[in-house]
Structure 1
Amino acid sequence: MAMPSDKQRLRLVTHMCPSLPVELYELLMSYLEDEAGCEATLQYESRAPGPLPGRPDPFTTDAIDLAFMTPTAFVNLVDGGNSDAELLPVTPVFCHAKNPREEKGYYADIIIHKDRSKHVKEFADLRGCRWAYSHEESLSGSLVVLKKLREMGENAAFFGDTVRSGSHLRSLQLVLGKKAEAAAVDANCLAYYRSYLQDWGRDIKVLESIGPLPPYPIVVNKRLSDALKARLVEALLNFSETKFWGGRGEVYGLRKFVPNSAGTYEGVREYKRDVEQPGIGLRYY
């Protein structure tokens, strides 16, 4: 009979899939088991970028210990008065051509099919196109675009048609299959899946990149002991220093982890405030 383990249990959930590969979070789960001395499990939840609406909050019900979610989902959690979740003060940094100094934050890539290149030289040329977006509150898929349109004196009616894809990966597939003419996708999604596309995704052209955007938050249950939270932070900050684990992270474009703070996400609130101005409405999406 197996003896019960005295290691602390760590229940993880990722809301970042399928836009980012689940294998990345399986890697982090295994790493934290080794480096933080835990027995971890990982739940895959792709239906929402954070805790599912209309369901009991998993932090309040003590159903999870640590969640990977989007910046907008974290802001909604905090602004909704959740008192059982807090930011783990560390965030991942991924490779991007516009981030040679490897600072925190990520980018939104505005993409088109290469066959549109003759007629589309800049964002303004996308007027009247069929636009794909992951979901209404996606920072990199919707909010940055609505802000850009507002700065141009436009709103979402600038596009001829829009299609809600459900994920950045699906938006990429729609553009590649010419079922949408353009989209804004998480640059880390594009970078990873491009290696699986024919000719390294040469049919996809990045029109421009917007960022850096507030980084991906890692959110923990406040019931976790301070000692365990400290071990988690230390382990993640040392991720790139461990040759075995750090090298495996580079497959996903993951370079390292750096310190993070709740104040970073005021930038998300600024985006949300900007798109709530008259003339810009998420109802178009």
Structure 2
Amino acid sequence: MAHTKPEIRLATYMCPSHPVQLYELIQDLLEETLDCYTSLIYESRNPGPFPDRPDPFGTDKVDIAFMTVAAYMKLRNDNNAFIDLLPVTPVFAHQMNVENKPGYFSDIIIHRDKKAHNVNTLLDLRGCTFAYSDDESLSGSKIILKTLKEKGENASFFGSLLTEVKQAIVKAFLNLPHTSEWKNKFAKFGILKFVHNSDVAYDGQVAQMWACQSEKLNVRYY
């Protein structure tokens, strides 16, 4: 007879930007740490829950979802009563993250031919074609608009879980650095550790970038 365990239903909207194996690894971590079963929904067509479909939280289809900051900000601004931020966030390995702080970075990748034109700053790319993934992406679109505004430019510059379960999940993530096996597994995805997170992190600069949501870059290229 099969052993009955609680099941945590995960969903990720972060693939293929992130490899799905990262979220499968999170499944393994939770199953081992919480002695539970997990399932994973992999939705690559939208950065968060589809706005024109039933809310997966309100309809009790998902327990934990991984989505973009922009998607979370929209749910929060819509006062979605069925969501609650899991207060933990990863710390990624990055050449700019010398202090190992939480958050992530936007890297601008230029064509190798541009090296000959001494491209050293964002302003050196005036008139170039800029390709990005999504109008609502804070890292791919909004932060560029915010940076351009700060430099006097604009877009034309470019041609539900129970509390105790939630606490156990947070603890599982936070304790990751203390177990070399799990630490090494997550290191393959550039994650050094997980640290505390809160809604305060989505105010300030993040809120300022969110305020740019009505503005769009000129043309999207694929």
TM-score, normalised via structure 2 length? 0.93
**Which residue among 182, 188, 203 is the counterpart of 1:251?**
188
Q: Distance in 1 between matches of 2:206 and 2:43?
A: 22
Q: Distance in 2 between matches of 1:29 and 1:143?
A: 31
Taking only the aligned residue pairs, the percentage that are identical comes to 47
Q: Which has the higher strand share?
A: 1
**Which residue among 8, 17, 22 is the counterpart of 1:10?**
8
* 2:44 is aligned with 1:20: no
Q: Distance in 2 between matches of 1:20 and 1:92?
A: 13
**Which residue among 81, 90, 101 is the counterpart of 2:99?**
101
Aligned-residue Cα RMSD (Å) equals: 1.4
Q: Distance in 2 between matches of 1:103 and 1:148?
A: 21
Deviation at 1:284, TM superposition (A): 2.9
Deviation at 1:227, TM superposition (A): 1.5
The code of the aligned residue for 1:115 comes to D
Q: Distance in 2 between matches of 1:255 and 1:8?
A: 29
Q: Which has the higher contact order (CA 8 A, sep 6+)?
A: 1
The code of the aligned residue for 2:182 comes to W
Structure 2 unmatched ranges of 5 or more? none
The code of the aligned residue for 1:153 comes to G
* 2:60 is aligned with 1:122: no
TM-score, normalised via structure 1 length? 0.73
Contact 2:156–2:217 (Cα < 8 Å) also in 1 = no
**Which residue among 205, 208, 222 is the counterpart of 1:270?**
208
Deviation at 1:56, TM superposition (A): 0.5
Q: Distance in 1 between matches of 2:217 and 2:110?
A: 24
Contact 1:13–1:66 (Cα < 8 Å) also in 2 = yes
Contact 2:129–2:158 (Cα < 8 Å) also in 1 = yes
Contact 2:141–2:217 (Cα < 8 Å) also in 1 = no
The code of the aligned residue for 1:237 comes to L
Other structure's SS at 1:97 match: coil
**Which residue among 102, 106, 112 is the counterpart of 2:110?**
112
Structure 1 unmatched ranges of 5 or more? 161-220
